[in-house]
Amino acid sequence: MDAYNLIISPAAKDDIKNIYDFSRLNWGETKATYSPCPKNAIPTYFEIKPV
């Protein structure tokens, strides 16, 4: 199963999380799941996996 990373800058992360619930967002047959990087890693990313 392929996985795709949507790179989100730390400054935009909170704004984006306020707009979208990534754990429930669906694009057609894909499901986005929020996968935070380790706290010392930049940037935070959202991992998008086909379902």
Can you give the residue range of the structural domain that contains 43?
4-50
pLDDT tens figures, 9-51: 555 655 655 555 554 544 444 444 445 544 544 444 555 555 4
pLDDT of residue 29: 40
pTM of the model: 0.17
Where residue 6 falls among pLDDT bands split at 50, 70, 90?
A: low
Q: How many domains does the chain have?
A: 1
The two three-digit tokens of residue 46, written as one number: 């959202």
Cβ–Cβ < 8 Å for 17, 9:
no
Q: What is the DSSP letter of 40?
A: T
Give the residue among 28, 24, 35 at the shortest CA–CA distance from 46: 35
